[in-house]
Structure formats: structure tokens, C-alpha cells
């Protein structure tokens, strides 16, 4: 008891703002990031939740999030975002901000200098790093950095769908520029998915060759100088119809780690990332996507011995960070959902005042 008390006494107090509080069948990384930070040996964290929708479950998880503020959508532009953050910061005095959605990253990266002037630290990829790993230009990324990627093509209209047979055999993957990926077995299905994706995310839509194999992922953290601070590979055990891992297990895979280290070294990646790979029957790896942020399954990495959100906060604060060199293989995660009981007054308050 005495040791725990001393440990708590020596922790550094930090206020961290976190987005991505949606924890549904397509979970955001916010709550897992918060859980990871709550387990930090170094920091005593006060969490400020930043929400876009008033039904994001994280808003009502009072043991995880101390205060919540509603945010303007990324599509409204950086001016409104900065005004809102300036107001929130005047009350909360934020030390570090961790954005967790692809769609909002561009605004936060563009605003990084102004946030720094407010005293808010971030640790995000550069705009160049962010742009060159887009799904639409993944083939060029593969050529530049010597990484195998499936054949892909960017389309902007339904009329292009019927020309796909020149380059692709069915089935093909139909992907949105930020989120969503569907398998299509014929042109009609491609059109259906195209309409569904563009109504949500706009164009372009990416058509990608479907490669048979096992889905494997790596979560990693780069220090911006070419060094890998941590990396944990996992195999998806259970996948939802949205393609999300609902269960996974850490694996010992030197080849995946070597590929991750090579990408981080060459790109000098700054911040969290997730590599989505297909391991073929011939034991080859094809990179199908790079997510430029911490993924929703980050808590598995913490369970395996690498608290990457804690390391990211240290990097943001300019602290010395020693790379993790090991992790525990055979560590599993299984997601679950449960019903939270909330008071209507809380919902009314966040809906009317934008604060809770």
C-alpha cells in the first residue's frame, strides 16, 4: 500500500484531450487510448473528451472522461476548430491533444503550430507523410519504399465501373478515402458500394485487387527521426461485417516487424500508425492500408507490454523515450458491448450547452 501511495505521489499530472469517443460496432480509438493512459506509471491523467456527436458512448463514461466538450465537424474548417479549442483550453489548460479520427487529422496537423502557441502539444504525422500514404496513392508509396501492395485504381464516377474488368478480376475491394471497405463480386455490387461510400465520404473511391490470405495488423509508434519506439503485430481472430477486429492475438512475426521498421525508418514517421497487411499462402506480405493514427485495438499492445499512448504523450512533451524491445506473444483481446445507464439530463446538457 505504501509503495502504491509513493508511486501515485511521484506521477506527473497532465491534462489530455482525446477525440474518438464513439465505442460502437465501428469503435473509435478514444476509449482504448484513455484506458491505456489511465494505466500509465508515469502520468496522472485528467481526460478531456472531445465529441462530435451527442451519443458517443465515451461522453457518458464518467470514470474515464472527466469533462466533455462538443466539437465542430472537421468539414467546418480550421478556424472554427481553433476558436473552440481556444475556449476549451482557457478553462482546462490542455497539455496534450490526441486526435483519433482520420477525417479530422488534416485540420489538426494544419493547426499544430497554432495549438503549440496555445500551449497544446500534439505528436502527429507531417502533412507529407499523411498525404503520401493515402489509399488512392498506395501504389506510388509501395514503389517509393519497396513495399508490395495490391493493384488499385481510383475512380470518381459510376461510369468508370464497367471498365474495371480491363484491369481487375472479380471479386474486388471497394474502399472509401477515409473509411469503409466492401467486397464486390460484380459491377452492380461495385455501384451499390460506390453510392454508399460517396454519400458519406465523397469521392474518390478506391478499387483494390482482392488478395486471398490472412489479415494481420501492426500497431507502431515512430519518433519522427526514423526510429520505431514500439511495434506489436497481431492476427485478427474475429472480424465484424464492417471489417473491424472484434478479437485478435499478438503474434511473433519478425518479417512484419522488419517491414514496419523499414517503413518508419524510410518515411521518418511521426506518431502512431497501423499497418494493415495480408499474409498470403506463400508467406508474402502485401500492404493494403496505412492508418495514420493509433488504432482502436491499442489496448492489446498495452496488455502485451507496450503502452504506446503513454510513449506518445512523452514524445509530445519532449521527454526522453526509450524504445520498447519486447512484447508478450499469445496475448488476446476480445471486444464486448454492454449497456450503460445514463441520465437524460446528461444527454440534454451536452445537446444544449455542448459541455458536460
What gap in Å lies between CA 151 and CA 146, rounded to an integer?
Answer: 14
pLDDT above 90: percentage of residues in the chain = 69
Q: What share of the chain is helix, strand, coil (3-state, %, to 5)?
A: 40, 25, 35
Give pLDDT < 70 ranges for the chain. Answer: 1-9, 242-243
Residue 131 confidence (pLDDT): 94
Under 8 Å between Cβ of 313 and 16:
yes
Residue 77 confidence (pLDDT): 87
Residue 332 confidence (pLDDT): 95
Buried b (16+ CB within 10 A) or exposed e, 337-356: eeeeeeeeeeeeebeeebeb
Q: 1, exposed or middle or buried, with CB in 10 Å at 0-12, 13-18, 19+?
A: exposed
pLDDT digits (tens, 9 = 90+) for 218-273: 999 999 999 999 999 999 887 777 667 788 999 999 999 999 999 999 999 999 99
Q: Domains in the chain, ordered, with CATH?
A: 2-122+339-353 (3.40.50.20), 151-209 (3.30.1490.20), 212-334 (3.30.470.20)
Residue 104 confidence (pLDDT): 92
Q: Which helix (H) or strand (E) holds 10?
A: none
Q: What is the pTM of this model?
A: 0.88
Residue 9 confidence (pLDDT): 63
Residue 8 confidence (pLDDT): 54
Residue 1 confidence (pLDDT): 46
Amino acid at each position: 500500500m505504501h509503495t502504491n501511495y509513493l508511486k501515485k505521489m511521484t506521477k506527473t499530472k497532465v491534462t489530455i484531450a482525446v477525440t474518438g469517443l464513439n465505442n460502437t460496432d465501428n469503435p473509435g480509438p478514444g476509449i482504448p487510448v484513455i484506458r491505456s493512459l489511465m494505466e500509465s506509471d508515469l502520468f496522472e491523467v485528467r481526460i478531456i473528451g472531445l465529441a462530435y456527436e451527442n451519443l458517443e458512448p465515451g461522453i457518458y463514461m464518467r470514470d474515464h472522461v472527466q469533462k466533455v466538450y462538443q466539437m465542430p465537424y472537421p468539414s467546418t474548417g480550421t478556424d472554427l476548430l481553433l476558436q473552440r479549442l481556444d475556449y476549451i483550453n482557457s478553462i482546462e489548460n490542455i497539455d496534450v491533444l490526441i486526435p483519433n479520427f482520420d477525417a479530422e487529422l488534416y485540420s489538426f496537423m494544419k493547426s499544430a503550430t497554432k495549438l503549440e502557441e496555445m500551449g497544446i502539444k500534439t505528436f502527429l504525422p507531417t502533412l507529407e507523410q499523411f498525404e503520401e500514404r493515402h489509399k488512392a496513392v498506395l501504389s506510388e508509396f509501395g514503389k517509393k519504399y519497396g513495399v508490395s501492395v495490391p493493384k488499385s485504381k481510383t475512380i470518381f464516377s459510376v461510369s468508370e465501373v464497367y471498365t474495371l474488368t480491363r484491369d481487375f478480376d472479380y471479386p474486388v475491394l471497394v474502399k472509401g478515402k477515409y473509411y469503409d471497405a466492401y467486397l464486390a463480386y460484380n459491377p452492380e455490387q461495385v455501384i451499390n458500394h460506390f453510392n454508399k461510400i460517396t454519400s458519406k465520404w465523397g469521392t474518390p473511391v478506391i478499387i483494390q485487387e482482392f488478395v486471398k490470405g490472412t489479415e494481420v495488423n501492426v500497431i507502431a509508434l515512430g519518433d519522427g527521426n526514423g526510429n520505431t519506439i514500439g511495434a506489436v503485430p497481431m492476427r485478427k481472430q474475429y472480424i465484424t461485417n464492417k471489417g473491424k477486429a472484434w478479437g485478435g492475438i499478438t503474434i511473433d512475426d519478425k518479417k512484419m516487424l522488419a517491414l514496419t521498421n523499414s517503413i518508419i525508418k524510410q518515411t521518418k514517421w511521426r506518431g502512431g500508425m497501423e499497418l494493415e497487411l495480408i499474409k498470403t499462402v506463400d508467406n508474402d506480405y502485401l500492404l493494403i492500408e496505412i492508418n495514420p493514427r493509433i488504432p482502436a485495438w491499442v489496448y492489446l499492445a498495452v496488455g502485451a507490454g507496450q503502452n504506446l499512448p503513454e510513449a506518445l504523450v512523452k514524445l509530445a512533451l519532449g521527454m526522453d523515450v526509450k524504445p520498447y524491445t519486447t512484447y508478450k506473444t499469445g496475448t488476446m483481446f476480445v471486444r464486448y458491448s454492454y449497456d450503460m445507464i445514463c441520465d437524460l439530463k446528461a444527454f440534454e446538457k451536452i445537446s444544449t450547452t455542448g459541455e458536460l
